Structures are given as structure tokens and as C-alpha cells.
């Protein structure tokens, strides 16, 4: 198999990463203005019901991810990684602009939440193909012995998109009065994402196809074996990753506002700092995994999320200061980076090149749809059902146990050639 030159690898990965940042900014910004969306798009019965409705719409965006993963993943295997990535960024920008211009419930009634869900489904379909497509593209461009480091930039760009979304939401919450933010300011982050969409499209048009895909496309197609079984492994592998990500990052600003009595801007700034720590830590962990292997870091993360969530959240609720909250969010960020750093390379290494995009994307997207997309909704429901602000931690613990068992069943692949 042709092994790409490192300079070519960096150029290709840069183009993918820039588009990925914009893609995940578009998808994530919804969570950071969830409280305002609850008031604008859903009938006002009580705060819990409105918030549950908002996060249900958030989760429905993830329902479309498996379909997007299958369809766009297949396009990536049959028409090339570049074609798939151009499609995802176009769809994401369209869905984001739609949310930014939608009339509210007060203007058009029930049609408002229905159109909101439709826009989230477009975004979810796009995101379903984006993660697997960009992971495949970046890992296949990585030089031998550097897949963990290069693959970590896929997840770094996801976090950069989240960080950008959190930072923009925090900025406008700080700049504008609450009345202005509720009236029109919440639309600005969505419209900004739509404006940036053409930048991502341009960057991706300049990308070259991966050498691994070109080589595999020129070879005779072998009989397809084991694709579904490998996708099941990817599904289980992903569970703790996605649950921790969406509970401890996307839901945290809402949680800290409600249970730690923070202002929207303070909650978002604390979350933004945590995301920055994660952004810095992920490449470090990816590089370490090239030296020590993927499994030691992945297993350590799983064990930590079995043992730590309950005592840490009890500590959060004990009346700590703002500095201690930031320290806790930084701790969670470092732990998540132990999975997010080696994770893209590790999951890609499960699959052969010819079917990597289809089966990896499908397994990953289904796990995210089932366990990650509804994580904020499930968290709110558990807390309300058991009348305990720590009830949601057992969702984290259960996810960690499942992924721990799956990872124990996988062999170490860090030092093997990419098939």
C-alpha cells in the first residue's frame, strides 16, 4: 500500500479539519441556546416540560444520524471520501440557516417546533456522515506510526467546533441583555454558521482523495465478510465516548445554571474553558497512543467514568466556588481526552479500507443516536424522575461499563499497518 508523505498528509488533514470545525459548530450551537429555544418554540406549560421538549428536538437530530451514516458512508466507499465530505458540509449549513430564520411558536404555532425538528433532522443526517467520513479521511492520510496523532485532529476539530459554538453563545449572552438575546440574539450564532458554510465548502473542494482509498479502489473487490460484526464492535466502543461527551459538555451549561445557580454567561464561560482544556489534551493523548498503544488510555478512561462521576457531582453540589467548578470541568475534559485522543484511530483500525466508511460510520452514528443524542434529555428525565440532581450519573457509569467490556475484547492495533 502507498504510504503518504507527511507534508501531503498535513495539507489534506488541514482542509478536512477546517471544514469539520465549521460543521460541528453548526451542529452544537443548538445545545448552548437550548433554554431560549425552549421558550421560543414550545408552548409554555412549565420549565421542565419546555426543556424536555427542546432536548427531545435536539435528540431527534441524532435519530437521522444512522441513516446519514449509512447513506453518506456508502457514498464515501463508492464515490470517494471527498465527495461524501462535500455533501455533509452543504447539508449542515442548510439546516443551520433554516433554524436561524424560523418563525417562533408565537408567530406560527405548532408549525414552529415541527420545522425546528425538520431542520435538526437535516443537520443530523449530515452529522451522521460527517464524523465517520472525516475520521476515515484523516486516518487514511496519516503516515505509518502517526495514526493516533493525526486521527486526534479529527476529534480536536469536533471540540474546536463545540468550543467555537460555546464561545460565540457566551459572547452574545455577555454582550446582549437577556431580553435582546431572547428576542433576536439567539439567531445570530445560527446565521453566522450559515455564512461560514461556503468557507468549509471551498476548503474541501481543494482536498485530494486519500491514497488508501485510491489503492483499494484499484484492487479487485474481495467478498464482504464480517462488516456487521465489526460495526457492532464500533457501536459498543462508542457508547461511553458519546454519553460522556454530551452529558459532560453539551448538557453542563444547562445543568450548572439550574443546580449551581449560575448565570447563562457564567455557565457558558465555564464550559468554554473545559472545552479548551479538552482541545489541548486530545492531540497529546493521540500522540501518546502511538507510543504506548490505544488500549491503556481507552481502558483508563472507562474505569475513571465508572468510579468518579457520583463523588464528583456530589462535590459540585456541595456549594463549591466558580474556580472549583472550572477545575472539575477541566478534570472531566482530561478524562474524555484519554478516549477522544486515540479513539478516531482505534475505531478506524477495526475496519478494512474498502468498507471502512460504511460500517464504521454506521456503527458510530447509531451509538451516538441511541445513547448520545438523547443524553441531555435522559439526564433531565432521570433527575426529575428520581428528584435527585445526581441521578444522571448512573447513565455515565452504565455507559462506561459497556464500553469497557467491548474494548477488553479488541486487540491492540496501534503498531499494525492499516488494512
pTM of the model: 0.81
| Crossing angle for the helix pair 309-316 and 322-340, to the nearest 10 degrees | 160
pLDDT of residue 110: 83
List all residues 6 or more positions away from 320 whose beta carbon is below 8 Å from its beta carbon: 328
Torsion angle of alpha carbons 171, 176, 181, 183, nearest 10°?
-150
In the chain, which residues have pLDDT < 50? 223
| Count of residues making up the chain | 419
Sign of CA dihedral 22, 27, 33, 39: positive
Cβ distance 32 to 192 under 8 Å? no
Compute the distance between CA of residue 335 and CA of residue 306 in angstroms, rounded to an integer: 12
pLDDT of residue 184: 92
Nearest partner of 266 among 253, 276, 277, judged by Cα: 253
Domains identified in the chain and CATH numbers: 8-212+225-409 (1.20.1250.20)
| Helices and strands, counts by H and E, the chain | 20, 0
Nearest partner of 342 among 305, 297, 278, judged by Cα: 297
Cβ distance 320 to 272 under 8 Å? no
Grid cell digits, residue 272? 468554554
pLDDT of residue 46: 62
Compute the distance between CA of residue 351 and CA of residue 69 in angstroms, rounded to an integer: 15
Cβ distance 230 to 363 under 8 Å? yes
Nearest partner of 95 among 118, 112, 113, judged by Cα: 118
Nearest partner of 10 among 162, 279, 286, 207, judged by Cα: 207
Amino acid at each position: 500500500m502507498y504510504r503518504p508523505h507527511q507534508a501531503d498528509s498535513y495539507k489534506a488533514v488541514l482542509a478536512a479539519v477546517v471544514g469539520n470545525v465549521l460543521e460541528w459548530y453548526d451542529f452544537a450551537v443548538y445545545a448552548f441556546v437550548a433554554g431560549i429555544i425552549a421558550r421560543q418554540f414550545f408552548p409554555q406549560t412549565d420549565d421542565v416540560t419546555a426543556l424536555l421538549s427542546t432536548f427531545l428536538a435536539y435528540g431527534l437530530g441524532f435519530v437521522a444520524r444512522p441513516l446519514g451514516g449509512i447513506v453518506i458512508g456508502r457514498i464515501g466507499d463508492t464515490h470517494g471520501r471527498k465527495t461524501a465530505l462535500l455533501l455533509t458540509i452543504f447539508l449542515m449549513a442548510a439546516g443551520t440557516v433554516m433554524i436561524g430564520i424560523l418563525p417562533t411558536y408565537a408567530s406560527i404555532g405548532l408549525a414552529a417546533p415541527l420545522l425546528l425538528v425538520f431542520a435538526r433532522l437535516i443537520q443530523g443526517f449530515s452529522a451522521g456522515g460527517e464524523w465517520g467520513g472525516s475520521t476515515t479521511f484523516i486516518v487514511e492520510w496519516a503516515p505509518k506510526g502517526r495514526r493516533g496523532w493525526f486521527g486526534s485532529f479529527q476529534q480536536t476539530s469536533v471540540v474546536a467546533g463545540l468550543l467555537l459554538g460555546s464561545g460565540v453563545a457566551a459572547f452574545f449572552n455577555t454582550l446582549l441583555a437577556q431580553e435582546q438575546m431572547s428576542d433576536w440574539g439567539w439567531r445570530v450564532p445560527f446565521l453566522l454558521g450559515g455564512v461560514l458554510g461556503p468557507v468549509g465548502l471551498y476548503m474541501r473542494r481543494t482536498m485530494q482523495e486519500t491514497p488508501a482509498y485510491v489503492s483499494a479502489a484499484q484492487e479487485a473487490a474481495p467478498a464482504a465478510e464480517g462488516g456487521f460484526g465489526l460495526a457492532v464492535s464500533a457501536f459498543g466502543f462508542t457508547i461511553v465516548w458519546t454519553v460522556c461527551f454530551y452529558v459532560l459538555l453539551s448538557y453542563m451549561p444547562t445543568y450548572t445554571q439550574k443546580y449551581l445557580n449560575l448565570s447563562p454567561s457564567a455557565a457558558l464561560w465555564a464550559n468554554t474553558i473545559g472545552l479548551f482544556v479538552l482541545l489541548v489534551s486530545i492531540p497529546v493523548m493521540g500522540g501518546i497512543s502511538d507510543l504506548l498503544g490505544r488500549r491503556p488510555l481507552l481502558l483508563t478512561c472507562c474505569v475513571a467514568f465508572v468510579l468518579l462521576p457520583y463523588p464528583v457531582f456530589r462535590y459540585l453540589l456541595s456549594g463549591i466556588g466558580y474556580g472549583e467548578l472550572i477545575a472539575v470541568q477541566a478534570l472531566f475534559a482530561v478524562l474524555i481526552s484519554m478516549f477522544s485522543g486515540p479513539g478516531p484511530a482505534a475505531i478506524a483500525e477495526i475496519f478494512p479500507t474498502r468498507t471502512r466508511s460504511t460500517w464504521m460510520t454506521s456503527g458510530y452514528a447509531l451509538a451516538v443516536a441511541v445513547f448520545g443524542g438523547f443524553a441531555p434529555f435522559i439526564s433531565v428525565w432521570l433527575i426529575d424522575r428520581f428528584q435527585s440532581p445526581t441521578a444522571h450519573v448512573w447513565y455515565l457509569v452504565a455507559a462506561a461499563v459497556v464500553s469497557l467490556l467491548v474494548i477488553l475484547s479488541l486487540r491492540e492495533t496501534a503498531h499494525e499497518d492499516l488494512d
